[in-house]
Amino acid sequence: MTIKSRLCKDLGLKYPIFQGGMAHISTGRMAAASSNAGGLGLICSSGLSAAQVAEEVALCKQLTDKPFGVNLMLQSPEIDDIVQVVLDNKVPVVTTGAGDPSRFMPALLAAGVKVIPVIPHVRAAQKAEKLGAYAVVAEGTESGGHIGEMTTLALVPQVIKAVNIPVLAAGGIADGKSMAAMMLLGAAGVQMGTVFLVADECPIDDAYKQRVLEAADTDTMVTGRGTSHVVRALKNPMMQKYAELEKQDGTEDERNALAGGALYKAVHGDMEGGCIMAGQIAGMVRGGGTIGGIMERIVAEAEETLGTAGNLLGE
Amino acid sequence: MTIKSRLCKDLGLKYPIFQGGMAHISTGRMAAASSNAGGLGLICSSGLSAAQVAEEVALCKQLTDKPFGVNLMLQSPEIDDIVQVVLDNKVPVVTTGAGDPSRFMPALLAAGVKVIPVIPHVRAAQKAEKLGAYAVVAEGTESGGHIGEMTTLALVPQVIKAVNIPVLAAGGIADGKSMAAMMLLGAAGVQMGTVFLVADECPIDDAYKQRVLEAADTDTMVTGRGTSHVVRALKNPMMQKYAELEKQDGTEDERNALAGGALYKAVHGDMEGGCIMAGQIAGMVRGGGTIGGIMERIVAEAEETLGTAGNLLGE
């Protein structure tokens, strides 16, 4: 008995699991590994030129014949050209973040691309549905990277109640029990990021992986609250310095100088000056291995959990 | 088939549901109604003198022969006398918040009181276990009132993994599906607050109930982040003014003048100057009725959800 979800049929997946689009991390190679493992691999376009996105898409196509997607960072300076790369390459799925996808919807829908905005609240989900989105990813504030205010547990049921399209849950999910819990709430699937950071195929420095594997529950912090640029990452000198600048009313220029390229630095092993993005669930991530192995473990546990849920009932 | 939980056997409950201790709200009358409904009613001692707690306990005993508890606000100026009230009245359960229960544990344990700290992270849960706590309530940041940083979905599994005592989930739970989801994660039960705000027996002003019933998902806000006094409540002039003072580096005295007695004001109908505490799940709370009716609805849905979880699997 395996998990049923319309996502599998509609998107051609074995498992209703998206590997989240993570800037500088979710490369064509990583996305291909996720798709080969049975989930949906997502290439993150953030920080890439259109030409670089085209390269990653080409590499991904070379490494898998399974469906994959591109995560569109809508504030990218080359967003128009990046959307064109998606269309030219007949990429079947895009997720969108950091902005309003309206302008690109007609072309994407006309080409048959399934558009799945990542949304932080009900209003954005309703708007996405109205625009013709195939589904939404409801992402909670416990996620790593750029975040909203609602938590996954509070957000997912409210979004499910408000729209008629499939809803994936993201944020705070790193094992089969939490995947099962989200599907019990009515989620059609889950998107995970932090748990894949430690995978063999994830192209981040070993020091970054080690920080995730050793993280305690309270080891993340958030900067930028009250701005449009709210980020969750593991506590380190860079994040602490940024928070200090916020408290002291440092200038935006000072903060930008500190944060500029900080994720890139972390990906390349700078644990002092880098921004080590990870979610609150990092404290649950203890095992690594291949993306395929991680997905199999999670799905097996989710199936076991759902299959035995009735045992929580008695006379 | 009904939900099984060791909480029911150990505490003498019909349902593994705690009605959270809410200052100025969870009176002896409300706690009795929750206990009569089959859950554990909790009298909140916050803001009360020891003599007032004794009155509420006496009233609760008069109105129910079922087990109930007292929520100890550990920073209460009369905390020693309040603990004595608990002991004198053989109150079977206490939950504790806002501090370190160590000093009171020997006397409470010697009297056979089951002590259940409300905790915001793994370290506090481990400490509670070491002190002899019967269980912990792992409360996520989506809750109303005084909150921590971890979300329920990220917190609960990490606490369950770290301790061997029962773990209740709190924060973001207002229906049977989310209760079922938490039990699937391994929670022994749930504590809810926001959903009981709108109950007939809840002694808050109708205007407060109306605000909860009309709340959208994003209608709460948080003040005091970075201090030891972090509060989530519905957005209103009082909360917005407080946030302004924080931004402008207003003095602590100014902020205290604004916040002092603000929950009390809201409870008595002041929607402008009061602090309308509620969790992010307020957006899911649409129906009222008696506490008994609310609990029956939630439990029936939780049982249905767990009993049919296997339907999420297929060939």
Residues B290-296 have a mean pLDDT of: 97
Are the beta carbons of B153 and A3 separated by less than 8 Å?
Answer: no
Contact A122 B314 (CB under 8 A): no
Distance between CA atoms of B201 and A164, rounded to whole angstroms?
A: 35
The burial class, CB within 10 Å (0-12 / 13-18 / 19+), for A5 is buried
pLDDT digits (tens, 9 = 90+) for B9-47: 999 999 999 999 999 999 999 999 999 999 999 999 999
Token pair, residue B36, equals: 């009569």
Count of Cβ atoms closer than 10 Å to residue B87 Cβ: 17
Residue B254 pLDDT > 90: no
3 state SS of B75: coil
Say yes or no: B248 contacts chain A, CB-CB below 8 A: no
What does DSSP assign to residue B284? G
Q: What is the DSSP letter of A113?
A: P
Summarised one tens digit per residue, pLDDT across range B176-194 is: 999 999 999 999 999 999 9
Nearest to B284 among A152, A158, A309 (CB): A158
Cβ distance of A155 and B180 shorter than 8 Å: no
The complex scores an ipTM of 0.96
CB A42 within 8 A of CB A26: yes
| pLDDT given at position B113 | 98
> What pLDDT band is residue B259 in, cutting at 50, 70 and 90?
confident
Whether A177 sits inside 8 A of B154 (CB atoms) is no
**pLDDT band for position B306 (50/70/90)?**
very high
**Interface-testing mutation among B6, B150, B151, B212, with chain A (most A C-beta atoms within 10 A):** B151
Q: What distances in angstroms separate CA B32 from CA B59, B66, B82, B188, one per listed residue?
A: 8, 8, 19, 22
Q: Calculate mean pLDDT across residues B199-207.
A: 97
CA distances for B292 relative to A277, B21, B34, B66, B145, angstroms: 44, 17, 7, 14, 24
Residue pair A125/A119 in contact (Cβ under 8 Å)? The answer is: yes
Closest-CA distance of chain B to residue A81, Å: 34
One digit per residue, the tens of pLDDT, for chain A of length 315 reads 899 899 999 999 999 999 999 999 999 999 999 999 999 999 999 999 999 999 999 999 999 999 999 999 999 999 999 999 999 999 999 999 978 999 999 999 999 999 999 999 999 999 999 999 999 999 999 999 999 999 999 999 999 999 999 999 999 999 999 999 999 999 999 999 999 999 999 999 999 999 999 999 999 999 999 888 899 999 999 999 999 998 887 788 888 888 889 999 999 999 999 999 999 999 999 989 999 999 999 999 999 999 999 999 997
Burial of B274 (0-12, 13-18, 19+ CB in 10 A): buried
Burial of B244 (0-12, 13-18, 19+ CB in 10 A): exposed
What is the 8-class DSSP label of residue B22?
A: -
Written as one string, the DSSP assignment of B207-220 is: HHHHHHHH--TT-E
Angle between helices B28-36 and B50-63 (to 10 degrees): 30
How far apart CA A184 and CA A215 sit, in angstroms, is 28
Phi-psi region of A47 (alpha: psi -120 to 50; beta: other; left: phi over 0): left
Instruction: Specify the 3-state DSSP secondary structure of A245.
Output: helix
Confidence (pLDDT) at A206? 97
Q: Does the pLDDT of residue B249 top 80, yes or no?
A: no
Task: Answer whether residue B6 shows pLDDT above 90.
Answer: yes
- Min distance A107 CA to chain B CA atoms (Å): 31
Between the alpha carbon of residue B176 and those of residues A174, A303, B304, the distances in Å are 23, 21, 8
Decide if B314 and A1 are in contact by the 8 Å CB cutoff.
yes
- Is A309 in contact with B314 (Cβ distance < 8 A)? no
Whole-angstrom distance between the N-terminal and C-terminal Cα of chain A? 26
The two beta strands, B220-223 and B231-234, are: antiparallel
Q: Do A154 and B279 touch (CB under 8 A)?
A: yes
CA torsion, ordered B184, A200, A139, A259, to nearest 10 deg: 140
pLDDT of residue A136: 98
Maximal C-alpha separation, chain A: 64
Instruction: Name residues 45-84 of chain B within 8 A of A (Cβ).
Output: none
CB B195 within 8 A of CB B286: no
**What percentage of chain B exceeds 70 in pLDDT?**
100
Please, what is the angle between helix B122-131 and helix B152-162, to 10°?
A: 40
Distance from C-alpha of B233 to C-alpha of B26, rounded to nearest angstrom: 17
**Which pLDDT belongs to residue A226?**
84
Interval B71-87 mean pLDDT: 95
For residue B264, give both structure tokens: 């009390």
A16 phi and psi angles, rounded to 5 deg? -80, 60
Q: Residue A281: its pLDDT value, please?
A: 98
Closest CA to A63 of A96, A24, A34, A103: A34
**Nearest Cβ partner of A184 from B1, B284, B305?**
B305
| Domains observed in chain A | 6-201+286-307 (3.20.20.70), 206-267 (no CATH)
Which pLDDT belongs to residue A300?
A: 97
What residues contact residue A220 under an 8 Å CB cut-off, 6+ apart? A144, A232, A233, A234, A235, A278, A279, A280, A282
Crossing angle of helices B28-36 and B291-307, rounded to 10°: 40
Interface contact A194, partner B, CB < 8 A: no
pLDDT bin (cut points 50, 70, 90) of residue B1 is: confident
Residues B35 and B66: beta-carbon distance below 8 Å: yes
pLDDT tens readout for residues B126-179 = 999 999 999 999 999 999 999 999 999 999 999 999 999 999 999 999 999 999
Please give the single-letter amino acid code of residue A101.
P
CA A280: distance to chain centroid? 14
Residue A260 DSSP class? T
pLDDT per residue as tens digits for the range B268-287: 999 999 999 999 999 999 98
State how far the Cα of A312 lies from the Cα of A314, in Å rounded to an integer: 7
Q: How far apart are CA B231 and CA B229, in angstroms?
A: 6
Q: What are phi and psi of A220, to 5 degrees?
A: -95, 160
As a dihedral over the C-alpha atoms of residue A51, residue A55, residue A57, residue A58, rounded to 10 degrees, the angle is 130
Q: Which two tokens stand for residue B138?
A: 């792992």
A27: its two tokens: 């490369």
- Asked whether residue B253 carries a pLDDT value surpassing 80, the answer given is yes
Q: What is the 3-state secondary structure (H, E, C) of B128-188?
A: HHHHCCCCEEEECCCCCEECCCCCHHHHHHHHHHHCCCCEEEECCCCCHHHHHHHHHCCCC
* Residue A235, min C-alpha distance to chain B (Å): 14
Q: Using CA atoms, how far apart are residues B301 and B178, in angstroms rounded to an integer?
A: 9
Question: Whole-structure pTM over 0.90, yes or no?
Answer: yes
The yes-or-no verdict on residue B258 having pLDDT over 90 is no
| Alpha-carbon B209 to chain mean position | 17
Interchain proximity B314–A180, CB inside 8 Å: no
Cross-sheet strand order for the sheet of A231-234: A145-146, A231-234, A220-223
